[in-house]
Amino acid sequence: MAAVEAPLSNGVTNGVHDGPVEPQPTQAIPFDTAVLKSYLLALLPPLLAATPSELEYLFDDEFDERVQRFVSEGGGVLYVVKKKEESEDETNPSYSYHLTQHLSYHPSHVTTLAIIKRGPTLDPTTPLATQLHVLNLFGGDETPYESLHALVSCAVKPFFEAFVGSRGAGKEGDTKMGIPMTKKKFAELELSLLHLQQNVEIPETHLIIHPVIQRAVEEARAQGRRPSISDIPAKLLNDSSFLNTLHGHVNQWIKSIQTITKLNRDVSSGTASQEINFWLSLEKALEGIEIQLRSEEVNIVMDCLRNAKRFQAIVSFVADTGLKDAADTVRGYNQLMKDFPLNELLSATDLGKIQESLVLIFQHINRKLKLSPYPIRRALPLVEAISRDFQDQLLRVLTSHRLLYTPYETFERLMAQTMATFRTWDEQVKEFTNVAREVTRKRHEKFIPIKIVPAHAKLQDRCRYLRDWRKQHEQLAVMTGPTKGLSAVGMEVGGLDMEEEVKEAYEVMKRIDVLDVSTEGSEIWVAAENAYNERVARVENQIIARLRDRLGTARNANEMFRVFSKFNALFVRPKIRGAIQEYQTQLIDSVKEDIKRLHDKFKTQYRYSEAYHMSQMRDLPPISGAIIWARQIDRQLQTYMKRVEDVLGKGWELYAEGQKLQSESSAFRKKLDTRPVYDAWLHDINRRDMGVGGRLFEIVRLRGGGFQLAVNFDPQIITLFKEVRNLLWQNFQVPHAITNMAKDAKRVYPHAVSLMETVRTYGQTLDLVESNKGIEWLVAEYRNEAQRMVAKGMNIRWEVFVNQFDATRYGTVGDARDHRHIQFVREFASVVSVLQDKTNNVIDLYKDIMRAVDELATCSYTTEAFSDLLSKVQAAIDRLNLEGYANLDHWVAELDKRIEAILLQRLTQIIQVWCSEFDRADDGERRELPQLRDASHKRRGDKRVKEEKFLEGHMTLKPIVHEIRIQNQVIFLDPPIEYARQTWITQLHDWLGVVCRLRRIQSSRYEIGLQMQGHRASETTYTSLLTQFPDATLERPFALIESKVQQLKDYVGKWLQFQSLWDLEAEYVFNRLGDNLAHWQQLLTEIKKARSTFDTSETQKTFGVCVIDYEQVQSRVNAKYDSWQKDILNRFGVKLGNAMKDMHAAILKARNDLEHQSIEGLVGAPRRF
């Protein structure tokens, strides 16, 4: 006992582990077999119904070796087998127990336990309960199919589905991991095991062979030769007892074969898989019999009987067995049974796969039934058996969803799929019925009614009823929910919580199996529904009270309809529908008003309605638009009619007012019939000669004169194919000829539209070129290319496009000629697009250039202003050069001439301004700009006000200051007059150089700068403009300069005359004058006049653009002049005094002489004077 207790205590330790696990040493611990022994002694007695003493047989001498191998080997397993011992006493059976690593099956095995390791080895420090997995494999039956089926369906498959469901993975994630495929495999395995249970066992047939013949055949085989009758002893061939034995064996063969060939089953009982498996197994059994009959043993038996002249057993052998007929029949039947896709139905895991499997099954039946001789009278029960399998599978799938517990959206989706599956069944059965009738007629079989009684008919009715019931309940639940505000109303009115009442009524239905269509299940359903209706009736009463209250307070029909729209979901309930019938008249009047508005809308006609304009925006042709518009009115009318039906219930048209409303709406709908519109359009199309043909282009004469290029494509053809397209969408039957014409137009339409758009663009581009004459040379190359394409397209016809598309449609491959027409459309569009882009681009550049060129005439007269504008022009020309415009050299040359004309005008103006500035007389006042402007305007007659810009800043002539100086008694001008001439000419050159030094525009700056010999370099500036003045404009400033220089010379000459004051000798002057006082007086007068030159308060003399400063010489000349004047005056005084003295003396002498004369002597004497 001590030896036993130790393992037990150790086993307990391995079974239960408390507390933390202490760290184990790294050295491996050997496994103690006593631990497993104690574990088995504790585990096996309750499982195997055995005592510990009976289990001692397990622990034999090889137990330790088996356990060690089991512990150490990866993937090891131990089997504990309980075997029933054979004995005559059945009342007290005895059993034996064995422990093995190799599994075998025998009917005597009562139970087999599989002990499986979870890991590769067993850890002695871990409890065995966490390392071992125990599986009970039942036994004792004839076949293990029932046990294996129970194991898979009740344990393995549910465990896997529970694990998948707990993970909560999405459908996409499950698909990636292969979970749906695994589920399908489990279902197929379960189905296969179920089929194995249901199969009808075909008994195996073994033909009895006489030992002598068996021995002779074996000896011949051992010798490597073919056995024959000579191997049988001759005496036995004539031995009657031996021959009788062989004859008896043949009769037994006939009987055993007949048991197989006469086998049959009732197809109406069992499942479809049993019927299929029966015929497949029967074929295998017959093939086995045929193989035995062809064996050498049977041939020797027949040869022995034939040798003994016992032909009775030989001749009738094949006919008696019926083997050939049975084999032919079975092979014919199995044309239908082979590859029968029934497993697709039985292994389906959802409604979609069930629906797909039905299609596969009936396709197989309908196809094979025409080839196989399988009787129709058996095919009908087979289909009914499939119906039973279909019902079982539907119940399995639907029951797994617990329909009343699922949300309504999920429930509705499942029911929709279910009803779709039922419809699929009905469609397939209908097709099967037609095939069965056809096969019956061809086989000339006796007429039998082709009628299928589906087993799922009650389930289908229950599902349909359940769906309607759940829909009504959901509508009621929604209306009584808190969001609709009816629950609170109910509490106020009758103290009833409608929401809670509806939920409790629904709970009654949730407790039953709603898919149980048996008699008992139907009774339970009826009882539960009655209980549900009792609770719901109280809720309906509350809703009716509230509904009548709201309808009673409604002020107009629209409010009534608003109430109806809110409670519309409840009107399917008869009780509520009956409570609102009294409002029928008001609603009919409201609908009449709506219909009257529809009449008014229709009477305005489609062409004057808003829908017509919207149709044009949406590219709807007129006829189709009118038909759609009329149908919209028709649908609106139907909506109004449906509204009345929804509110008042079916049969409303039976009332007097309802009949009148129905008749008016019917008459209106006749007016809305679109067929006459379509017929009129069809007649008009047939009357016209329409078609796609002729040349691509045509030349149209304009009313105002001239011609225009156009596309030879009738716009009515485009409208035609749009009409046909929309009419086909509206389900009109368009004649084949018109459809073909529309198809031709549709095929050519893209290219026609492309050509129309291209021609329109081409015309607009030519108009742009015409309105901008200056760019004609630049776009001439692109326009010529477009004109070449037009000339090329003149020879192409529309028929080529239609034929080309037909060839492409029907797969024929044409040569390159067929494709060049399509290529032409693309090339033409591309060429015109390039022309348009180039034209638009060059117009923008041309406008910029012209704007800059025009500004040359008005901009400030500065180098920067002119250079900036010319650089803009040059940049635009460079861009034109880069983009490859043609005739750029000639165009730039013309542009340069225009620029030269403007610059020449500016030169003429600036010369005039310069002359005005130079020629202006200034009296010493400050030179103010307004005065200059006024003078300029007066001189030019105010022709150009913009010339004010010319006089800005540096565009004025600065006066030059010349100083008259005296040095070493020499008077001279500093600087000399020649400096003034040089300065004025330089200023004039600077003013002219603003224009003349500008760089000319060039057209070839992007060309490679290699000048060929003989080519002269082109002029780069505008200096040559100076040679292009038409009159003496350029000579005038130089003449003014010379005139001004001459004035200066004259004035300065006066000052230089004073040099003589220092150069002359006084005595020389006095001697020249002599004593002539008149000369002296004249000299003094001239001296007095000459003094005005220098004897002034000013110190300078201004000549406009030149100033003579004489301040330095003025005083010295004045002093010298005074000295000269004083000396001459003194000398003149002396001379005058002497002359006066002489004159006085003479006068005095004459007086004296006169006084001495006598007067008397003078009297009478003649007087002489």
Q: Dump pLDDT digits (tens) for 158-170.
A: 877 777 777 765 5
Tens-place pLDDT, residues 318-332: 677 778 888 888 888
C-alpha to C-alpha distance for 166 and 542, rounded to whole angstroms: 44
State residue 1163's pLDDT score: 52
Nearest to 15 by CA among 125, 124, 133, 128: 128
The residue with tokens 């008694």 is 969
Q: Are the C-beta atoms of 1106 and 1048 separated by less than 8 Å?
A: yes
Q: What pLDDT shows up at residue 802?
A: 64
- What pLDDT, on the 0 to 100 scale, is given for residue 1095? 63
Q: How confident is the model at residue 417 (pLDDT cuts 50, 70, 90)?
A: very high
CA 635 – CA 647 distance, rounded (Å): 18
Strands 1106-1109 and 960-967: parallel
Angle at 282 between CA 278 and CA 288, to 5 degrees: 150
DSSP type of residue 1166: P
Mean pLDDT of the chain: 75
For residues 175-190, average pLDDT: 70
Rg of the chain on CA atoms, in Å: 67
Sequence-distant (≥ 6) Cβ neighbours of residue 827 within 8 angstroms: 789
pLDDT digits (tens, 9 = 90+) for 203-262: 677 777 888 888 888 888 888 888 888 777 777 777 888 888 888 888 888 888 877 788
pLDDT-wise least confident of 471-475, 580-584, 749-753, 1030-1034: 580-584
Nearest to 253 by CA among 304, 293, 309, 201: 293
Residue 4 has pLDDT above 50, yes or no: no
What is the predicted pLDDT for the residue at 427? 92
Give me 1046's structure tokens: 């001459």
Q: What is the pLDDT of residue 422?
A: 93
Is the Cβ–Cβ distance between 200 and 273 less than 8 Å?
no
Q: What is the pLDDT of residue 1097?
A: 65
Question: CA geometry: angle at 146 spanning 142 and 149, to 5°?
Answer: 145
Asked if pLDDT for residue 390 goes beyond 70, the answer is yes
Does residue 806 have a pLDDT over 60?
A: no
Q: Is 476 or 200 the better-scoring residue by pLDDT?
A: 476
User: How does pLDDT run across 729-739, given as a tens digit for each residue?
Assistant: 777 777 777 77
pLDDT of residue 362 exceeding 80, the answer is: yes
Report the amino acid identity of residue 75.
G
What CA–CA distance (Å, rounded) separates 732 from 726? Answer: 9
For residues 99-121, average pLDDT: 78
Q: Which of 1020, 1024, 1128 is nearest to 1073 (CA)?
A: 1128
Instruction: Place 1039 in a pLDDT band, splitting at 50, 70 and 90.
Output: confident
Average pLDDT for 861-890: 84
pLDDT at res. 288? 84
Name the pLDDT band for 298 (thresholds 50, 70, 90). Answer: confident
Report whether pLDDT(886) > 60: yes
Using the structure block, give the residue that is written with the tokens 């600065």: 958
CA atoms of 30 and 53, how far apart (whole Å): 28
What was the pLDDT predicted at 928?
41
Position 486 scores a pLDDT of 52
Look at residues 842, 800, 806, 843 and name the one whose alpha carbon lies nearest to residue 823.
800
Number of other CB atoms surrounding residue 267 within 10 Å: 19
Quick one: pLDDT band at residue 936, thresholds 50, 70, 90?
A: very low
Look at the alpha carbons of 1130, 1133, 1135, 1138 in this order and tell me if their dihedral is positive or negative.
negative
Q: Kindly list the strands in the beta sheet with 960-967, ordered across the sheet, starting from the edge strand earlier in the chain.
A: 970-974, 960-967, 1106-1109, 1100-1102
> Mean pLDDT over residues 871-878, rounded?
85
Residue with tokens 């015109």: 832
Q: What is the mean pLDDT of residues 115-128?
A: 79
Residue 421: predicted pLDDT = 92
Residue whose pair of structure tokens reads 């207790």 in the numeric block: 5
- State what percent of residues in the chain have pLDDT above 90: 2
1015 vs 1090: which has the higher pLDDT:
1090
Of 698, 694, 705, 709, which Cα lies nearest the Cα of 832?
709
Element (H, E) at 729: helix 715-729
Beta-carbon-side half-sphere exposure of residue 676 (alpha carbons within 13 Å) = 5
Q: Is the pLDDT of residue 579 over 80?
A: no
Helix (H) or strand (E) holding 739: helix 736-771
- In the predicted model, is pLDDT for residue 20 greater than 90? no
Question: What residues pair up with 999 in beta bridges, in sequence order?
Answer: 1021
Which tokens in the block code for residue 580? Answer: 């609102």
Q: Are 304 and 245 in contact (CB under 8 A)?
A: no
Residue 211, H or E segment:
helix 211-222
pLDDT digits 0-9 by tens, 418-460? 999 999 999 999 999 998 888 888 887 777 888 888 888 899 8
Would you list the DSSP string of 645-696?
HHHH-TTGGGSHHHHHHHHHHHHHHHHT--HHHHHHHHHHHHHS---S-SBS
Average pLDDT score over residue span 250-275: 79
pTM (two decimals): 0.44
Query: Which is higher by pLDDT, 665 or 1012?
Result: 665
CA distance 378 to 565: 55
As given in the structure block, the two tokens for residue 210 are 């006489």
| CB-based contacts of 936, cutoff 8 Å, min separation 6 | 913, 916, 947, 951
Which residue in 246, 220, 226, 254 sits closest to 301, CA to CA? Answer: 246
- pLDDT of residue 1040 exceeding 50, the answer is yes
Of 22-26, 42-46, 881-885, the least confident? 22-26
Write down the pLDDT at residue 425: 93
* Run of H or E residues at 281: helix 272-293
Q: Please tell me the predicted confidence (pLDDT) of residue 173.
A: 53
Confidence label for 12 from pLDDT (cuts 50, 70 and 90):
very low
Q: What pLDDT shows up at residue 683?
A: 76
**Residue entry with tokens 């039934």:** 369
pLDDT at 679 over 90: no
Torsion of CA 632, 637, 639, 645, to 10 degrees: -160
